[in-house]
Amino acid sequence: MTRRRHLLGVIAVAALVGTTGVACGGSDDGASADGSVTLEFAQWWAPELPAGSFDKLMTEFTAQNPNIKVKLLSGPYASTKQQLVSGAASKTLPDVVGLDGAWVNDFAKQGAIADLSALMKDANYDESQLASQIQIQGKTYMIPIVNFVYPMFVNNDLLAKAGVTKPPSTRTEFLDAAKKITATGGNVKGWALPLDTAVPNGIQNDVMSWLWASGGTMLTKDGKPDLTNAQVKSTIEYVKSLNDASVIAPGSLTMKEQDKVEKFTTGQVGMVIDSLAHINLIKKNNPSLNFTVLPIPAEDGYTGKRGIPYASWGIGVADSSKHKAEAFKLVEFLMSKEKNAELSTLANGFPGNKTAVPDFSNSDPLFKTAFDIYQAGYPANEFVGLPKAEDLMRSFDEQLQLTLTGKQSVDDTLSKAQEDWASVL
């Protein structure tokens, strides 16, 4: 999934805040002679936030907890990932770690990150305020602090030109709108579907998002693959129907997410599922583009809450930390209603605390529109926490491409993908 880090990675190295780099382990137990504790906190967030803002939050935490100091270990996403992967393997992670959902399963299996369910219980923490938790076998190992969601982006001018007066809310309405946009000609298409197998996140963002928008699931309750169920089949049949109707932008089998964003920005497609992180980028590259964001259309007749795809800044605690209770105090601080709202505002994301509300007064109005969509639904991304998540997407992508090119039935695609996934899950 394209995340904010990709947009900001170029400036990240120059924007390191309060750090000399990411280091895993190698220090003492963090205790001082005066009884105070120093927590090491490794993450890639500080470089992506306004300069000094994350340091300010840590200063506030220390003011509230004078016996706990925080040493920030900040770096770009790529280097942070590399260091944390090494630290997880050697059980030398810093006390508190920023986590990507794709790492959680491996870290948990290695025994590198602590069971947060137990820490929440010990701290008498009210977990009902959490928008989501990433669990392995019923135990929480990551709490999403800030979520970056993927709603439907629609070009208002193209809809109007096509004679579409009602924004599509159902799959039938979306297909109809996509056909009408495509019929306007000029090489414009209704939708874009990136399926490049080298970066197969289109399966997560652009395919399974239709499933989650209708309350569906691709997994059993015990985390096993369930790709042959009726809702998954309906989703793939729907994507196939869009392909058969020739409303998808050409080149989808080798298209990457950035290509999709470019096609929407330049008015070549009328609708895409995309990250909110791209709102400012799209407006910068095409200030005159008249677009809005909508919930992803659901199955006709569906009235339940709609899942919305997301990526997160997650947080966890090292199992090797000698100060887990103090580390969880930092987690509590960042997840508090006030501070979680503040952090989300700084990041242009949505809170992990479902009682927190970001301050949109200085943001693009579309962020408030998207937040209303987010609050009306729920964050949904079943790939988060799965082992070898990218490999799972890729194997599904390869099978789906056979269906879209007429070489394989939907049933065969799902049964073969089920078999591939079963060997991993």
Per residue in 68-121, pLDDT (tens digit) is 999 999 998 888 989 999 999 999 999 999 998 889 998 999 999 999 999 999
Judge whether residue 386 has pLDDT over 70: yes
Q: Predicted confidence band at 4 (pLDDT cuts at 50, 70, 90)?
A: very low
The predicted pLDDT at position 23 comes to: 46
- Asked whether residue 328 falls in the same domain as residue 410, the answer is no
- Asked whether residue 157 falls in the same domain as residue 298, the answer is yes
Directed axis angle between helix 77-90 and helix 101-109, to 10°? 10
Q: What is the model's pTM?
A: 0.78
pLDDT digits (tens, 9 = 90+) for 205-250: 999 999 999 999 999 988 899 999 999 999 999 999 999 999 999 9
The predicted pLDDT at position 62 comes to: 97
% of the chain beyond a pLDDT of 70: 92
Answer for the pair 54, 46: CB distance below 8 angstroms, yes or no.
yes
- Asked whether residue 114 falls in the same domain as residue 126, the answer is yes
The predicted pLDDT at position 311 comes to: 85
Q: What is the DSSP letter of 152?
A: E
Category of 217 on φ-ψ map: left (φ > 0), alpha (ψ -120 to 50) or beta: beta
CATH number at residue 315: 3.40.190.10
- Asked whether residue 232 falls in the same domain as residue 275, the answer is yes
More confident residue, 22 or 331: 331
Residue with the two structure tokens 């004078």: 66
- Asked whether residue 278 falls in the same domain as residue 204, the answer is yes
The predicted pLDDT at position 48 comes to: 83
Answer for the pair 315, 187: CB distance below 8 angstroms, yes or no.
no
Task: Name the residue range of residue 175's domain.
Answer: 152-308+388-422
Judge whether residue 393 has pLDDT over 50: yes
The predicted pLDDT at position 116 comes to: 98
Distance CA 357, CA 342 (A): 9
The predicted pLDDT at position 22 comes to: 47
Give burial (CB, 10 Å; 0-12/13-18/19+) of 69.
middle
Question: In terms of DSSP H, where are the helices of 154-220?
Answer: 156-161, 171-182, 202, 208-213
Q: Predicted confidence band at 281 (pLDDT cuts at 50, 70, 90)?
A: confident
Dihedral sign for Cα 258, 263, 267, 270, please.
negative
Give burial (CB, 10 Å; 0-12/13-18/19+) of 219.
middle
Q: Predicted confidence band at 27 (pLDDT cuts at 50, 70, 90)?
A: very low
The predicted pLDDT at position 362 comes to: 84
- What are the backbone angles phi and psi of residue 338, rounded to the nearest 5°? -70, -50
% of the chain beyond a pLDDT of 90: 74
The predicted pLDDT at position 1 comes to: 41
End-to-end distance of the chain based on CA atoms, in angstroms?
Answer: 21
Judge whether residue 6 has pLDDT over 60: no
Mean pLDDT of 259-281: 93
Residue 217 half-sphere exposure toward CB, CA atoms < 13 A: 8
Give burial (CB, 10 Å; 0-12/13-18/19+) of 287.
exposed
The predicted pLDDT at position 400 comes to: 98
- Asked whether residue 171 falls in the same domain as residue 242, the answer is yes
- Asked whether residue 30 falls in the same domain as residue 141, the answer is yes
Q: How many domains does the chain have?
A: 2
Judge whether residue 172 has pLDDT over 50: yes
- Asked whether residue 137 falls in the same domain as residue 222, the answer is no
- Asked whether residue 27 falls in the same domain as residue 137, the answer is yes
- Asked whether residue 256 falls in the same domain as residue 405, the answer is yes
The predicted pLDDT at position 20 comes to: 39
- Asked whether residue 322 falls in the same domain as residue 398, the answer is no
Mean pLDDT, the chain, rounded, equals 90
Distance CA 302, CA 186 (A): 34
pLDDT digits (tens, 9 = 90+) for 106-160: 899 999 999 999 999 999 999 999 988 999 889 999 999 999 889 999 999 999 9
Q: Predicted confidence band at 33 (pLDDT cuts at 50, 70, 90)?
A: low
- Asked whether residue 62 falls in the same domain as residue 121, the answer is yes
